A and B are shown apart, each in its own frame.
Chain A
Amino acid sequence: MQVTTQTLKVLGALISSADEISGADIARSVELASGTLYPILARLERAHWIESRWEEGDPHKLGRPRRRFYKITALGARKAREAVNEVKRAFRRSAWSLS
Protein backbone atom coordinates (compact mmCIF):
# COMPACT_ATOMS: atom_id res chain seq x y z
CA MET A 1 0.00 0.00 0.00
CA GLN A 2 1.25 3.46 -0.85
CA VAL A 3 1.92 5.44 2.32
CA THR A 4 1.67 9.15 1.73
CA THR A 5 2.43 11.92 4.18
CA GLN A 6 -1.29 12.29 4.79
CA THR A 7 -1.64 8.58 5.47
CA LEU A 8 1.19 8.86 7.96
CA LYS A 9 -0.58 11.75 9.64
CA VAL A 10 -3.75 9.68 10.01
CA LEU A 11 -1.79 6.72 11.32
CA GLY A 12 -0.01 9.06 13.72
CA ALA A 13 -3.31 10.37 15.04
CA LEU A 14 -4.59 6.82 15.55
CA ILE A 15 -1.40 5.71 17.28
CA SER A 16 -1.25 8.73 19.57
CA SER A 17 -4.87 8.40 20.55
CA ALA A 18 -5.21 6.34 23.70
CA ASP A 19 -8.72 5.25 22.78
CA GLU A 20 -10.75 4.70 19.66
CA ILE A 21 -11.30 7.84 17.68
CA SER A 22 -14.00 9.01 15.28
CA GLY A 23 -13.48 10.32 11.74
CA ALA A 24 -14.38 13.84 12.81
CA ASP A 25 -11.81 13.75 15.62
CA ILE A 26 -9.12 12.49 13.24
CA ALA A 27 -10.02 15.23 10.74
CA ARG A 28 -9.68 17.83 13.48
CA SER A 29 -6.41 16.53 14.84
CA VAL A 30 -4.63 16.14 11.50
CA GLU A 31 -6.44 18.98 9.75
CA LEU A 32 -7.46 16.94 6.76
CA ALA A 33 -10.55 17.59 4.66
CA SER A 34 -13.25 14.94 4.51
CA GLY A 35 -12.48 14.29 0.85
CA THR A 36 -8.95 13.25 1.73
CA LEU A 37 -9.52 11.62 5.08
CA TYR A 38 -12.22 9.08 4.26
CA PRO A 39 -10.50 7.51 1.24
CA ILE A 40 -7.40 7.09 3.42
CA LEU A 41 -9.43 5.48 6.19
CA ALA A 42 -11.14 3.20 3.65
CA ARG A 43 -7.78 2.12 2.20
CA LEU A 44 -6.28 1.51 5.62
CA GLU A 45 -9.28 -0.52 6.67
CA ARG A 46 -9.17 -2.61 3.51
CA ALA A 47 -5.51 -3.33 4.21
CA HIS A 48 -6.39 -4.26 7.82
CA TRP A 49 -4.10 -1.58 9.19
CA ILE A 50 -7.04 -0.15 11.11
CA GLU A 51 -10.39 -1.45 12.22
CA SER A 52 -13.63 0.28 13.03
CA ARG A 53 -16.85 -0.23 14.94
CA TRP A 54 -20.07 1.62 15.54
CA GLU A 55 -20.61 3.69 18.62
CA GLU A 56 -22.78 1.81 21.06
CA GLY A 57 -26.28 3.09 21.59
CA ASP A 58 -29.44 3.75 19.69
CA PRO A 59 -29.34 6.79 17.38
CA HIS A 60 -32.85 7.73 18.53
CA LYS A 61 -31.77 7.76 22.15
CA LEU A 62 -28.50 9.48 21.30
CA GLY A 63 -30.41 12.09 19.32
CA ARG A 64 -27.83 11.98 16.54
CA PRO A 65 -26.31 9.50 14.09
CA ARG A 66 -23.92 7.01 15.59
CA ARG A 67 -20.23 7.70 15.22
CA ARG A 68 -17.86 5.23 13.67
CA PHE A 69 -14.76 4.69 15.80
CA TYR A 70 -11.41 3.73 14.37
CA LYS A 71 -8.40 2.15 16.00
CA ILE A 72 -5.10 0.95 14.71
CA THR A 73 -4.34 -2.76 14.55
CA ALA A 74 -1.04 -4.41 15.47
CA LEU A 75 -0.30 -4.81 11.77
CA GLY A 76 -1.04 -1.15 11.16
CA ALA A 77 1.21 -0.03 14.00
CA ARG A 78 4.06 -2.18 12.65
CA LYS A 79 3.57 -0.94 9.10
CA ALA A 80 3.41 2.67 10.29
CA ARG A 81 6.70 2.26 12.14
CA GLU A 82 8.28 0.73 9.05
CA ALA A 83 7.00 3.58 6.90
CA VAL A 84 8.36 6.19 9.29
CA ASN A 85 11.75 4.45 9.35
CA GLU A 86 11.74 4.36 5.57
CA VAL A 87 11.03 8.09 5.42
CA LYS A 88 13.84 8.75 7.90
CA ARG A 89 16.25 6.68 5.82
CA ALA A 90 15.22 8.48 2.62
CA PHE A 91 15.63 11.82 4.35
CA ARG A 92 19.09 10.90 5.55
CA ARG A 93 20.04 9.78 2.04
CA SER A 94 18.78 13.06 0.58
CA ALA A 95 20.56 15.10 3.20
CA TRP A 96 23.74 13.18 2.51
CA SER A 97 23.53 13.72 -1.26
CA LEU A 98 22.88 17.42 -0.80
CA SER A 99 25.85 17.90 1.50
Chain B
Amino acid sequence: MESFLAAVYACLGKLIADELKAWLPRMTEHVLRAAVTMLPGNQRERYDEEWRSFLADIPGRLSRFIASLGLVKAAYEISNRGIVTYSLIRLASVLLILTLAPVFLIAAALARLSDGWAPVLTNEFRGALTDDRTVITLVFRTDEVGLENFGPYVQLHSHHGLRFTPITDAEAKQTERRFGPVRLSPTGRLLIRLGLSRLPILINVLRGDFPFEDLRKLWVFANRRHQWCAQSLVVPADPLWLIRRQKHCLIILNREKT
Protein backbone atom coordinates (compact mmCIF):
# COMPACT_ATOMS: atom_id res chain seq x y z
CA MET B 1 0.00 0.00 0.00
CA GLU B 2 2.77 2.36 1.01
CA SER B 3 4.69 1.71 -2.16
CA PHE B 4 1.53 2.34 -4.17
CA LEU B 5 0.99 5.71 -2.44
CA ALA B 6 4.63 6.58 -2.98
CA ALA B 7 4.23 5.84 -6.68
CA VAL B 8 1.08 7.99 -6.85
CA TYR B 9 2.81 10.86 -5.07
CA ALA B 10 5.80 10.56 -7.37
CA CYS B 11 3.58 10.62 -10.46
CA LEU B 12 1.55 13.56 -9.11
CA GLY B 13 4.70 15.40 -8.14
CA LYS B 14 6.16 14.95 -11.59
CA LEU B 15 2.89 15.99 -13.18
CA ILE B 16 2.70 19.16 -11.10
CA ALA B 17 6.36 19.91 -11.80
CA ASP B 18 5.78 19.48 -15.54
CA GLU B 19 2.70 21.68 -15.42
CA LEU B 20 4.54 24.38 -13.54
CA LYS B 21 7.46 24.13 -15.92
CA ALA B 22 5.11 24.68 -18.84
CA TRP B 23 3.00 27.37 -17.21
CA LEU B 24 5.52 29.47 -15.33
CA PRO B 25 7.01 31.26 -18.38
CA ARG B 26 3.53 32.13 -19.55
CA MET B 27 2.51 33.35 -16.11
CA THR B 28 5.70 35.38 -15.88
CA GLU B 29 4.92 36.98 -19.22
CA HIS B 30 1.41 37.88 -18.05
CA VAL B 31 2.65 39.40 -14.82
CA LEU B 32 5.32 41.35 -16.66
CA ARG B 33 2.77 42.73 -19.10
CA ALA B 34 0.46 43.66 -16.25
CA ALA B 35 3.31 45.48 -14.51
CA VAL B 36 4.24 47.38 -17.66
CA THR B 37 0.60 48.35 -18.24
CA MET B 38 0.55 50.00 -14.83
CA LEU B 39 3.28 52.42 -15.89
CA PRO B 40 2.65 55.78 -17.53
CA GLY B 41 2.44 55.49 -21.33
CA ASN B 42 5.79 57.17 -21.99
CA GLN B 43 7.69 54.72 -19.80
CA ARG B 44 6.17 51.46 -20.87
CA GLU B 45 8.43 50.75 -23.82
CA ARG B 46 11.57 51.39 -21.81
CA TYR B 47 10.63 49.26 -18.82
CA ASP B 48 9.18 46.51 -20.97
CA GLU B 49 12.56 45.91 -22.56
CA GLU B 50 14.57 46.64 -19.43
CA TRP B 51 12.55 44.28 -17.27
CA ARG B 52 12.62 41.57 -19.90
CA SER B 53 16.40 41.72 -19.88
CA PHE B 54 16.33 41.79 -16.07
CA LEU B 55 14.22 38.63 -15.95
CA ALA B 56 16.34 36.97 -18.63
CA ASP B 57 19.35 37.37 -16.33
CA ILE B 58 17.63 35.44 -13.54
CA PRO B 59 18.18 31.69 -13.61
CA GLY B 60 15.24 29.39 -12.96
CA ARG B 61 11.63 29.67 -14.01
CA LEU B 62 10.26 29.96 -10.52
CA SER B 63 12.77 32.63 -9.48
CA ARG B 64 11.94 34.52 -12.65
CA PHE B 65 8.24 34.34 -11.86
CA ILE B 66 8.79 35.58 -8.31
CA ALA B 67 10.92 38.43 -9.61
CA SER B 68 8.16 39.36 -12.04
CA LEU B 69 5.76 39.71 -9.11
CA GLY B 70 8.18 42.20 -7.61
CA LEU B 71 8.02 44.19 -10.82
CA VAL B 72 4.31 44.80 -10.22
CA LYS B 73 5.23 46.49 -6.95
CA ALA B 74 7.96 48.42 -8.75
CA ALA B 75 5.51 49.57 -11.42
CA TYR B 76 3.06 50.68 -8.75
CA GLU B 77 5.69 52.79 -7.05
CA ILE B 78 7.22 54.18 -10.21
CA SER B 79 3.82 55.21 -11.54
CA ASN B 80 3.29 57.25 -8.40
CA ARG B 81 0.03 55.60 -7.59
CA GLY B 82 0.42 57.09 -4.14
CA ILE B 83 -1.28 60.16 -5.58
CA VAL B 84 -4.23 58.08 -6.69
CA THR B 85 -4.41 56.36 -3.33
CA TYR B 86 -4.22 59.70 -1.54
CA SER B 87 -7.02 61.10 -3.69
CA LEU B 88 -9.15 58.13 -2.72
CA ILE B 89 -8.29 58.67 0.93
CA ARG B 90 -9.30 62.32 0.61
CA LEU B 91 -12.55 61.29 -0.97
CA ALA B 92 -13.12 58.87 1.89
CA SER B 93 -12.42 61.69 4.36
CA VAL B 94 -15.12 63.83 2.69
CA LEU B 95 -17.60 61.00 3.07
CA LEU B 96 -16.55 60.46 6.67
CA ILE B 97 -16.85 64.15 7.50
CA LEU B 98 -20.32 64.25 5.97
CA THR B 99 -21.33 61.12 7.82
CA LEU B 100 -19.89 62.36 11.09
CA ALA B 101 -21.14 65.93 10.65
CA PRO B 102 -23.62 65.55 13.52
CA VAL B 103 -20.79 64.42 15.82
CA PHE B 104 -18.70 67.41 14.76
CA LEU B 105 -21.58 69.77 15.40
CA ILE B 106 -22.41 68.30 18.80
CA ALA B 107 -18.75 68.38 19.87
CA ALA B 108 -18.43 71.99 18.70
CA ALA B 109 -21.64 72.97 20.45
CA LEU B 110 -20.53 71.32 23.69
CA ALA B 111 -17.18 73.10 23.53
CA ARG B 112 -18.93 76.40 22.91
CA LEU B 113 -21.35 75.86 25.78
CA SER B 114 -18.70 74.89 28.28
CA ASP B 115 -15.89 77.21 27.27
CA GLY B 116 -17.51 80.25 25.78
CA TRP B 117 -15.92 81.66 22.67
CA ALA B 118 -12.65 79.81 22.84
CA PRO B 119 -11.69 78.10 19.63
CA VAL B 120 -13.19 74.70 19.18
CA LEU B 121 -10.34 73.37 17.13
CA THR B 122 -6.67 73.70 17.79
CA ASN B 123 -3.43 72.58 16.27
CA GLU B 124 -1.58 69.69 17.73
CA PHE B 125 2.04 69.32 16.92
CA ARG B 126 3.55 65.91 16.60
CA GLY B 127 7.28 65.78 16.60
CA ALA B 128 9.61 63.91 14.35
CA LEU B 129 7.79 61.18 12.56
CA THR B 130 10.98 59.80 11.19
CA ASP B 131 13.54 62.41 10.39
CA ASP B 132 13.06 66.05 11.29
CA ARG B 133 9.68 66.33 9.67
CA THR B 134 6.77 67.20 11.85
CA VAL B 135 3.07 66.86 11.49
CA ILE B 136 0.48 69.32 12.67
CA THR B 137 -2.97 67.95 13.10
CA LEU B 138 -6.24 69.60 13.97
CA VAL B 139 -7.87 68.38 17.15
CA PHE B 140 -10.81 69.39 19.26
CA ARG B 141 -9.59 71.56 22.09
CA THR B 142 -9.84 69.53 25.24
CA ASP B 143 -8.21 71.69 27.89
CA GLU B 144 -9.75 74.40 29.98
CA VAL B 145 -9.75 77.80 28.52
CA GLY B 146 -8.20 81.02 29.43
CA LEU B 147 -5.88 80.38 26.56
CA GLU B 148 -7.40 82.90 24.15
CA ASN B 149 -6.53 81.90 20.65
CA PHE B 150 -4.38 79.12 19.44
CA GLY B 151 -2.24 80.17 16.54
CA PRO B 152 -1.04 77.84 13.93
CA TYR B 153 2.08 76.01 14.90
CA VAL B 154 3.56 76.48 11.49
CA GLN B 155 4.03 80.19 11.91
CA LEU B 156 6.12 79.86 15.01
CA HIS B 157 8.02 77.03 13.53
CA SER B 158 9.11 79.00 10.54
CA HIS B 159 9.74 82.29 12.33
CA HIS B 160 11.42 81.11 15.47
CA GLY B 161 13.37 78.24 14.01
CA LEU B 162 12.52 75.88 16.83
CA ARG B 163 15.03 73.25 17.60
CA PHE B 164 14.56 69.60 18.28
CA THR B 165 16.53 68.40 21.22
CA PRO B 166 16.40 65.17 23.12
CA ILE B 167 14.78 65.52 26.51
CA THR B 168 14.72 63.34 29.58
CA ASP B 169 11.60 62.51 31.53
CA ALA B 170 12.73 64.75 34.37
CA GLU B 171 13.22 67.64 31.99
CA ALA B 172 9.78 67.07 30.55
CA LYS B 173 8.24 67.20 34.02
CA GLN B 174 10.17 70.35 34.76
CA THR B 175 8.85 71.97 31.61
CA GLU B 176 5.37 70.89 32.52
CA ARG B 177 5.75 72.51 35.94
CA ARG B 178 7.01 75.67 34.36
CA PHE B 179 3.96 76.08 32.19
CA GLY B 180 1.45 74.64 34.58
CA PRO B 181 -0.52 71.44 34.38
CA VAL B 182 -3.07 70.87 31.72
CA ARG B 183 -6.61 70.91 33.00
CA LEU B 184 -9.06 69.08 30.87
CA SER B 185 -12.41 70.70 30.36
CA PRO B 186 -15.51 68.57 30.95
CA THR B 187 -16.14 68.54 27.21
CA GLY B 188 -12.53 67.68 26.54
CA ARG B 189 -12.65 64.82 28.99
CA LEU B 190 -15.78 63.50 27.30
CA LEU B 191 -14.28 63.81 23.82
CA ILE B 192 -11.12 61.99 24.88
CA ARG B 193 -13.13 59.27 26.57
CA LEU B 194 -15.21 58.79 23.45
CA GLY B 195 -12.08 58.81 21.31
CA LEU B 196 -13.37 61.75 19.30
CA SER B 197 -10.81 64.39 20.19
CA ARG B 198 -8.70 63.67 17.14
CA LEU B 199 -11.56 63.40 14.71
CA PRO B 200 -10.70 66.75 13.04
CA ILE B 201 -7.66 65.06 11.54
CA LEU B 202 -10.08 64.28 8.73
CA ILE B 203 -10.01 67.97 7.87
CA ASN B 204 -6.22 67.81 7.56
CA VAL B 205 -6.57 64.84 5.29
CA LEU B 206 -9.15 66.62 3.19
CA ARG B 207 -6.98 69.70 2.89
CA GLY B 208 -4.03 67.53 1.93
CA ASP B 209 -1.93 68.88 4.79
CA PHE B 210 0.31 65.85 4.96
CA PRO B 211 2.35 64.22 2.29
CA PHE B 212 1.06 60.75 1.60
CA GLU B 213 4.09 59.29 3.38
CA ASP B 214 3.22 61.07 6.63
CA LEU B 215 -0.36 59.97 6.43
CA ARG B 216 0.77 56.41 6.03
CA LYS B 217 3.14 56.72 8.96
CA LEU B 218 0.46 58.31 11.12
CA TRP B 219 -1.67 55.33 10.31
CA VAL B 220 1.08 52.82 10.92
CA PHE B 221 2.21 54.41 14.17
CA ALA B 222 -1.29 55.18 15.42
CA ASN B 223 -0.86 52.73 18.23
CA ARG B 224 2.80 53.27 18.79
CA ARG B 225 2.82 56.93 19.59
CA HIS B 226 6.03 56.88 21.55
CA GLN B 227 7.96 56.02 18.42
CA TRP B 228 7.28 59.32 16.84
CA CYS B 229 7.18 61.47 19.91
CA ALA B 230 9.79 60.20 22.31
CA GLN B 231 12.62 61.06 20.01
CA SER B 232 12.40 64.77 20.36
CA LEU B 233 10.74 67.72 21.91
CA VAL B 234 10.47 71.27 20.84
CA VAL B 235 12.06 73.51 23.39
CA PRO B 236 9.53 76.25 23.95
CA ALA B 237 10.95 79.72 23.64
CA ASP B 238 8.19 81.41 25.61
CA PRO B 239 5.07 80.58 27.56
CA LEU B 240 3.02 80.53 24.41
CA TRP B 241 3.39 76.80 24.44
CA LEU B 242 1.23 74.34 26.17
CA ILE B 243 2.82 71.02 26.83
CA ARG B 244 0.76 67.99 27.46
CA ARG B 245 2.16 64.71 28.58
CA GLN B 246 0.46 61.61 27.35
CA LYS B 247 2.17 58.41 28.25
CA HIS B 248 5.38 58.47 26.26
CA CYS B 249 4.37 61.42 24.22
CA LEU B 250 4.66 65.14 24.65
CA ILE B 251 2.11 67.08 22.72
CA ILE B 252 2.73 70.72 22.21
CA LEU B 253 0.12 73.31 21.47
CA ASN B 254 0.74 76.83 20.40
CA ARG B 255 -1.06 79.41 22.46
CA GLU B 256 0.02 82.38 20.41
CA LYS B 257 -2.64 84.95 19.69
CA THR B 258 -3.42 85.34 16.05
The interface residues of chain A lying within 8 Å CB-to-CB of B49 are 59, 65-66, 68
Task: Flag whether B52 is at the interface (Cβ < 8 A).
Answer: yes
Q: Establish whether residues A65 and B74, one from each chain, have CB atoms under 8 Å apart when the complex forms.
A: no
Evaluate contact between A37 and B53: CB separation under 8 angstroms: no
Q: Determine the main DSSP class of A at the interface with B.
A: helix
Does the CB pair B54–A24 fall under 8 Å?
yes
Interface size class of B (residues with CB under 8 A): 20 to 34
B54 touches A39 (CB 8 A): no
Which residues of chain A from 54 to 75 have any CB-CB distance to chain B below 8 Å in the complex?
A: 55, 59, 64-68
A-B interface contact total, Cβ < 8 Å: 62
Chain B contact residues: over half helix, strand or loop, or mixed?
Answer: helix
A12 at interface, CB cutoff 8 A: no
> Please, what's the 1-or-0 string for B38-71, where 1 marks a CB less than 8 Å from any CB in chain A?
0000000011011111101110000000011111
Which size bracket describes the interface of A in this complex?
20 to 34
Residue pair A24, B53 in contact (C-beta under 8 Å): yes
Do B53 and A65 touch across chains, with their CB atoms under 8 A apart? yes
A contact residues vs B (CB 8 Å cutoff): 2, 22-24, 27, 33-39, 42, 55, 59, 64-68, 97
**Nearest 6 A-B pairs (CB), nearest first?**
A35-B73, A35-B70, A24-B57, A34-B70, A39-B77, A38-B74
Having A35-B70, A35-B73, one finds 18 other A-B pairs with CB under 8 Å, namely A23-B54, A24-B57, A24-B58, A34-B54, A34-B67, A34-B73, A35-B69, A35-B74, A36-B73, A36-B74, A38-B71, A38-B77, A39-B78, A42-B78, A55-B53, A64-B56, A65-B50, A65-B53
